[in-house]
Structure 1
Amino acid sequence: MAWLELNQIKYSVRERTLFEADHLTIEPGDRIGLVGTNGSGKTTLLNIIKGNTQPESGTVNRQKSISLLPQIKEAIGTKSGGEVTASTIISVLNEKSGILLADEPTTHLDIEHVDWLEKEILAYQGAYIIVSHDRDFLDKTCNQIWEISHERITEYAGNYSTYKEEKQKERRQQQVSYDAYKKKEKQLLEAVEKKKNKADKITDESKHFYFRKKAQKLYKTAKSIDMRIDQLEKVDKPEEPETIKMTIPNSREFINKYIMRVTDFSVQVPKKTLWRPTTFFIKGGEKIAIVGQNGSGKTTLVQHIIHGSEGIEKTPAMKIGYFAQNLSNLKEKKTILENVAEGSVQTETLIRIVLAQLLFKQEEVYKPVHVLSGGERVKVALAKLIVGDYNTLVLDEPTNFLDIKAIEALETLLSAYEGSVLFVTHDRRFMNQIADRLLIIDNKQIKLFEGTYREYQLSGHSEKMTSIEEDLMRTENEIATVLGKISIEPSQELESQFEKLILKKKELNKRANHN
C-alpha cells in the first residue's frame, strides 16, 4: 500500500497553472529527487504533501507521518548558515517520520558536510523527496526523479544522470520529429509555389476560357495544399545553445602569462591563524576552484585577492570582475539588458545570446531588475560579469539560488570563457566541469593541486569528515535541540538526557584531540 497518494492535483497562482498531476504515489523505500526551474512550484508541492498548503483541486491521502526540512536562508545569531542547516537537519532526522521532505538541504554546507549529509540521507529508514540543485547529491541519494516542467509533473526512473540521459533521448527524438516536420513543410511549400507559378504562367500567356479554367484549378489545388500546411502538427525546434566568442581585454598580455604571484602570504585574525605563509602563481586563462571547510578562510582569501594585500602581486593587465551575494552591481530601475550592457565591451547580439542561454529571451530582457526573483537577479549579475570589461572573474558561491538548468547554462558559458575564473563553490559537479586547478585550504595551509576535484579525490589527498567528527557534530546539535526543549518545558528526563550528551561530547573531544 502506498504511503502517500496524490490524485488529480492542480495548483495555480493568479490564474496561471503552476502544475498538475493525475496520479502520484510515494511507496516504502522511495528516494525521489524533485527538479524544475525556479518558480516551477517545487517548494509548493512539498508544502501540499506536508499539508501546509491546500491544492486548488485534487486529494492527498497520507498514511505515514511527514517531516519537512525547509530551506535555510540565513544565519541565526552567532550560528552560521551552515551550522543552522546542520542543526535543523539533525533535528528533523531525529523525528524519524515515515516520509522526509527536504528543500535544498545542502545550502550553506561545505563539501565535507555534504558528504556527511549523503550518509545520513542514505541511512534514512523511510521514504523521502529531495529538492536540490546539487546534481552529484541527487545522483547518490535518489532512485527516481519527479520533474516539474510545462505545468506537468513527470516521473523518471533512476537517479539524476539517468534522468538527463532520458531527457537527451527525448531531445534527439524531438529533433527527428522536427526535421521530418520541416521536410514535409518544405515539400508542401514547394508544391504550392510550383502550382501557383504554373497557374500564373497560364494566366499571363492565354486568355482562352479552357486555359483560364485550368489555371483556376491549379490555384484551387495550391489553396488546398496551403490548408494541409496549416493542418500539419507543429513540432518545436529543440533548444540548442549558440556558440559564443567574446572579446577579452588585454588578451595578448594576459593569456598564458603569469597574472598573479602570491609569495609568503598568510593571514591572522583575532586568536586564530587562518593559514601559514604560502606561495603560488596563477596564469591568465586558468580556471581555479578554492576548496576548504566552512570557516577555513575561502572568502577571506578571495577578498585579499580582489583588494590586494602584502605578498600578493597582480599584473596591470589583470581586470577583475567580482560576483558578490549582495548583487551590488545591479541597478534596480534599469532593465536586464541595460544592466548587462552597461560597461560591456561585447556586441548587443552577443549580450542577447548570453542572456538567452541564461533563459532571458526576446522581450524578457526589457524587464526592470526590481521585478525579478532572487535567482533571476543572480543570473543577471553573472551575465553582467561575463560580458563585462574584465578578463578575470572571481565568483563567491555563484550557484546559490540557481536552479539546475541555470547552473548548467552557467557551466556552458564559463567553459567557453577565455579569461581566468577563480571561484568558491560547494557544488562538486560544477567544480569538476569548470576548474582545471584547485587551491586547497586545509590544516592552516594553502596548497595548489594540478587537476580537477575528481582527480583530487582519486589521488587520496581529499580528507572526509572522520566518524568522530561526525559524532561530535551530531552530539552538539542534539544538545542544542534538548536545550531548546528544556527552555520550553523542563523535565527530569530532558535534564538526564542533557547530562548524558554533555559527557558524550567531552569524551568525543578527548578522542578527537588524541587523534
Structure 2
Amino acid sequence: MNEQSIKIKNLDLSFGNKDLFKVDELSAYTNDRIAIVGDNGKGKSTLLKVIAGEHPEYEACIERHTDFNYLPQIGELDQSVDNTLDFELLSRMNVPDNEQLSGGEETKFRLVKILSDYRLGLLLDEPTTHIDTEGIKLLIKELEYYYGTLIFVSHDRHFINSLATKIWEIDDGSIREYHGSYDDYESQKQIEQLEQERQYEQYMNEKKRLEAAEEKQLRKAEKMNHVDKRSRDDIRPSRLEGTKSKETVQKQVYKKAKHIEKRISQMEEVKQPKTERELIFPISKLVELHNNFPVMAQDFTLKRGDKVLLDSVSFQFPLSKKIAVTGGNGTGKSSLLQEIIEQNRAFTISPKVRIEVYEQMSYKMNSNDSIVRYLMRHTDFTEPLVRSMLVKLGFSNDEVMKPVNVLSGGEATRVSLALLFVKRSNVIILDEPTNFIDLKTIQALEAFIGAYQGTVIFTSHDKYFVERTADEIYEIINQTLIKH
C-alpha cells in the first residue's frame, strides 16, 4: 500500500474577506497524480500554496510526511546555473542559452530547475502555460516517470488526462475527489447530471401530485362551506361519518389538506439541474461575406528583425471555417496573426472583412452598466441570447446585474470573451485564448466558436481545444505553413 504523503484536516480556507472552501479531511499518497480543477478564483492556487507551506497561518491543518518542490504559476526567473541543473533535460526542452527567453522558454527553464532537484513531492501550478506542443509532450513524458506524489493545477485537459489518477474538484465551497483520468471525471460528472435530472423529475412529479391532492381537499371543504342548508341535508355521509356533524366532516377535510401541505413542506428539495439553450450567433446583414476565401496570401514572407519566420508561404483561409495555426515557441504564430489584424498589403483580404480580436478588457471596463446592459450596448443580438451566453460562462441570473466596474479579473475576462462574440464581425482572431482561463470558460469558448457563423483564426497549444474547435489545422515548421 502506498504511504501517505500529506493529510489536510479541518481546513477553512479564505482569501481576504472571501471564503473559498472547507475541508474536513483529504489525503494524498505516494504515486498519486492529482489534478486540481475548478473555476478561477475558487482557491486552486491558494490550496497549492498552503500545501507548499506558503501560508503559515494554515500549518496546523497540514500533516506532511513528504518534502515538496513547488512551482508557482508566476515566479521570479533565476537563470543562474550550477552542477545540480539537468543540462540534458534543458537541451531536450529546447531552451536557448541566452538571457532573452520567451514566455514559454521561461516556463521550461523554471520547470527544469524544479525537476533537477528531486523530492518525493511535487506541486505544479499551471506548468504548461505558454509552452508549445512539443514542450508539453516532453513534460508529460518526464512526469510519467516521476516517482512520488504529484499535485498540479492545469487548464490543459490533454495534460490532465495524460497524467492524473485522481481529480480534486473545488466547487460550491468544498473539495470532491474523483478517481481516474480527466475523461473518467467527465464521465462521472455526466452520470451525476443524469442522476440529478432523474431525482429532480421524481421530486417535481411527487410535489405536483401532493399539491393536486391538497387542492382537491380544499375545493371539497369550500364546497361544503358554501352549500345551503337544504343541500347539506342531501349529503349522505358514510356510516363512519353518520354520527358526526357536518362541521366535523368539514374540519376533517381541512385537516387532510393541512397534512398534505405539511408533507410538501417536509419534502427534501432537489435543485433543478442547469440547462443551457443551444447557441446560434446570427451574422448581421451589414457584415455578411460572400467571398469564399476572405483571407489569402501568395508567396508571403514574414520577418522579425533579421530572422525569417515564414519564407514565401501561400494559404487560403475559407469562409466560416475555424482555422488553428500551430507550431513551436518562436516560430511566428502570433506574428502571423498580427499581420492579418493589421491587414498587411501582402495579403488579399476581402474589403468587407470586419475583424474582432480577443483582448483582456478588465482595465477598460469603467462603466456603471450591469454586465448584461454593457453587452447589449455593443450588439444586435437579443437579450435572451446574451443572457444565455453569460449563463454558459458561469454567471448566475443575479450576477449578470453586477456593474462591470466592480468585476474581479476572472469575471472581467469572461465578459471580454462574451463581448468579442456579440460584436458585429465576420472574422475573429484569438491568440492563445485558453491561457489563464478555467476549464468551464474554455468549454464555453468552444461553444461560442462552434456557434459563430464567421471565420475564426486562432493559435493554441491546447491539444483538446484544437481538436474540438478547428476545421483546418496549419502548422508552422521550418519557415513553412503546412496544412494537416
TM range, normalised to the smaller chain? 0.7 to 0.9
| Distance apart, 1:80 and its partner CA | 2.1
1:203/1:211 contact within 8 Å kept:
no
SS in 2 for 1:78: coil
For the 8 Å contact 1:298–1:441, the answer to whether it is kept is yes
Match of residue 20, structure 1, among 2, 19, 22: 22
Instruction: Select the structure with the greater relative contact order (CA < 8 A; seq sep ≥ 6).
Output: 2
Distance change >3 Å, CA 120–CA 369, structure 1 → 2: farther
How far is the alpha carbon of 1:309 from its aligned partner?
Answer: 1.1
2:50–2:58 Cα contact (<8 Å) kept: no
Question: Cα deviations across residues 229-279 of structure 1 (Å, max 9, x unaligned)?
Answer: 111100111112211222212499537833222222221222111111122
1:26, distance to aligned residue in structure 2 (A): 2.0
Question: Aligned match of 1:322 in 357, 360, 371?
Answer: 357
Aligned to 1:473: none
3-state SS of paired residue (1:48): helix
Q: What does 1:466-481 correspond to in 2, within 5 Å?
A: none
Q: Once the two structures are superposed, what CA deviation does each residue of 1:93-128 show, in whole Å capped at 9, x if it has no partner?
A: 111111000000011111111111111221222211
2:416 partner amino acid: A
Which residue of 12, 20, 40 maps to 1:38? 40
Separation in 2 of the partners of 1:197 and 1:412?
50
How do 1:218-367 residues align onto structure 2 when only pairs under 5 Å count? 218-250=253-285, 253-254=288-289, 257-325=292-360, 330-331=365-366, 333-367=368-402
Question: Which deviates further from its counterpart, 262-271 or 425-434?
Answer: 262-271
* 2:424 counterpart residue number: 389
Aligned residue for 1:71, secondary structure, equals coil
1:19–1:153: 8 Å Cα contact kept in structure 2? yes
Match of 1:155 among 177, 188, 202: 177
State the shift of 1:78 in Å: 3.0
Following TM superposition, by how much is the alpha carbon of 1:426 offset from its aligned partner in structure 2, in angstroms? 1.4
Residues 329-353 of structure 1: per-residue CA shift (max 9 Å, x gap): 6445543223322221101111111
2:478 aligns with 443
Listed one character per residue, the Cα deviations across residues 364-387 of structure 1 (whole Å, up to 9, x for unaligned) are: 123233432332222111101111
Where 1:3 maps in the other structure, the secondary structure is strand
CA positional deviation for 1:307: 1.6
Structure 2 equivalent of residue 138 of structure 1 = 160
Contact 1:196 1:219 in 2 (8 A): yes
The reply to whether residue 418 of structure 1 matches residue 424 of structure 2 is no
CA drift of 1:47 comes to 1.3
- In structure 1, stretches of 5+ residues that fail to align are 450-515
- What SS does the corresponding residue of 1:224 show, helix, strand or coil? helix
Structure 1 residue 79 displacement after superposition: 2.5
Mapped to 2, the partners of 1:191 and 1:368 lie a distance apart of: 45
Q: Is the 1:341–1:348 Cα contact (8 Å) retained in structure 2?
A: yes
Paired position in structure 2 for 1:378: 413
Match of 2:102 in 1: 80
Relative to structure 1, is the Cα distance of residues 328 and 321 closer, same or farther in structure 2, using a 3 angstrom cutoff? Answer: farther
Residue 325 of structure 2 aligns with an amino acid whose one-letter code is: I
**Equivalent-residue separation in structure 2 for 1:397 and 1:327 (angstroms):** 18
2:200 corresponds to 1:178 = yes
For the 8 Å contact 1:394–1:421, the answer to whether it is kept is yes
Which segment drifts farther, 204-213 or 372-381?
Answer: 204-213
CA contact under 8 A between 1:66 and 1:99: conserved in structure 2?
yes
Q: How many correspondences in the alignment?
A: 449
Residue 5 of structure 2 is matched in structure 1 by 3
- Verify: 1:167 aligned to 2:202, yes or no: no
1:7 shift after superposition: 2.1
For the Cα contact (< 8 Å) 1:340–1:384, is it kept in 2?
yes
Distance 1:403 1:79, change over 3 A: same
CA shift, 1:325, in A, is 4.2
Matched, 1:70 2:72: yes
Question: For 1:41 and 1:253, how far apart are their aligned partners in 2?
Answer: 43
How far is the alpha carbon of 1:186 from its aligned partner? 0.7
Report the equivalent of 2:86.
Answer: none
Q: Deviations over 1:179-202 (max 9, x none)?
A: 110110110111112112222222
Aligned to 1:29: 31
Q: Judging changes above 3 Å, is the alpha-carbon distance between structure 1 residues 432 and 369 closer, same or farther for their aligned structure 2 residues?
A: same
Q: Which residue pairs with 1:499 in the alignment?
A: none
Q: Which residue of 2 aligns with 1:456?
A: none
The answer on whether the counterparts of 1:111 and 1:426 sit within 8 Å (CA) in structure 2 is yes
> Secondary structure of 1:389's match?
coil
Give how far 1:45 is off: 1.1
Pair 276,240 (structure 1): closer, same or farther in 2 beyond 3 Å: same
The aligned amino acid for 2:423 is: G
Distance in 2, Cα, partners of 1:162 & 1:144: 9
Whole-angstrom CA distance in 2 between matches of 1:144 and 1:180: 32
Separation in 1, partners of 2:176, 2:363: 38
Q: Contact 1:330/1:339 (CA < 8 Å) preserved in 2?
A: no
Distance 2:15 2:77 in 1: 30
Mark the CA change 1:72 to 1:80 in structure 2 (over 3 Å): closer, same or farther: farther
Shift of 1:440: 1.5
Report the 3-state secondary structure (helix = DSSP H, G, I; strand = E; otherwise coil) of the residue aligned with 2:20: strand
DSSP-derived class of the 1:258 partner: coil
8 A Cα contact 1:8 1:58, kept in partner: no
Output the CA distance in 1 between the equivalents of 2:398 and 2:54: 36
1:394 CA drift (Å)? 0.9
Change (3 A) 1:273 1:325: farther
Partner of 2:433: 398
